[in-house]
């Protein structure tokens, strides 16, 4: 008994033999063009797109790696600080005030009441606010407990205004 696929070839062969040489050539050319298009669409075009996108993906990965390394160094600094002697309340307040004046400027006010320090931020640039938070965390060992910030402006004119409430062991919080 012959397989079904072998039974299909004689009609196809008869069809091919029944075509004029010009029609065979046109049909053969169409098959070649279709094969080349499928090869392009399935194999080459996606590979070329990936190749073109690779430099941008590489830059993004490098930026992420730099960010992860910075966070790792901060985590290592925090782990190193954990082994050192705890800050007194006065040292924590002094470190917070110093970081506030240096990073956010004289328009920013610090108020310490009980186990919380409230910082009133007035038109702070986003990068300055981020640096200040890092300094408050590393130098004063205080963490944000509550934030009420409003965004003003767009792009390079973006500024933050509001309050940030900080707490930590040096101000009487439980670690």
pLDDT digits (tens, 9 = 90+) for 60-103: 999 999 999 998 988 787 777 665 667 788 888 898 889 888 88
145 contacts: CB under 8 Å, gap ≥ 6 = 116, 165, 166, 167
Tell me the percentage of the chain whose pLDDT exceeds 90.
32
Range list for CATH 3.30.1360 in the chain: 87-171
Q: How confident is the model at residue 2 (pLDDT cuts 50, 70, 90)?
A: low
Domain 87-171 is in which class? Answer: alpha beta
- How high does pLDDT run on average in the chain? 85
Q: In this predicted structure, which of 36-40, 47-51, 52-56, 81-85 has the lowest mean pLDDT?
A: 81-85
Number of other CB atoms surrounding residue 89 within 10 Å: 14
Q: What is the arithmetic mean of pLDDT over 127-135?
A: 90
172 contacts: CB under 8 Å, gap ≥ 6 = 89, 114, 115
Number of other CB atoms surrounding residue 18 within 10 Å: 9
Q: Which residue reads 């996606």 in tokens?
A: 46
This prediction has a pTM of: 0.54
């Amino acid at each position: 008994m012959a397989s079904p696929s072998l039974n299909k070839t004689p009609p196809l062969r008869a069809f091919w033999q029944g075509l004029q040489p010009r029609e065979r050539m046109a049909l053969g050319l169409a098959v070649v063009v279709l094969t080349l298009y499928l090869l392009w669409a399935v194999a080459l075009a996606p590979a070329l797109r990936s190749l073109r996108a690779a430099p941008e993906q590489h830059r993004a990965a490098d930026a992420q790696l730099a960010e992860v390394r910075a966070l790792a160094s901060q985590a290592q600094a925090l782990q190193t600080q954990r082994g050192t002697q705890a800050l007194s309340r006065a040292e924590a307040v002094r470190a917070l005030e110093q970081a506030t004046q240096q990073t956010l400027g004289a328009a920013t006010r610090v108020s310490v009441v009980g186990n919380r320090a409230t910082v009133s931020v007035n038109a702070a640039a986003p990068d300055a606010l981020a640096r200040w938070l890092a300094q408050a965390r590393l130098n004063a060992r205080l963490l944000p407990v509550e934030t009420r910030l409003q965004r003003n402006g767009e792009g390079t004119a973006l500024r933050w205004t509001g309050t940030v409430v900080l707490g930590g062991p040096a101000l009487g919080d439980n670690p």
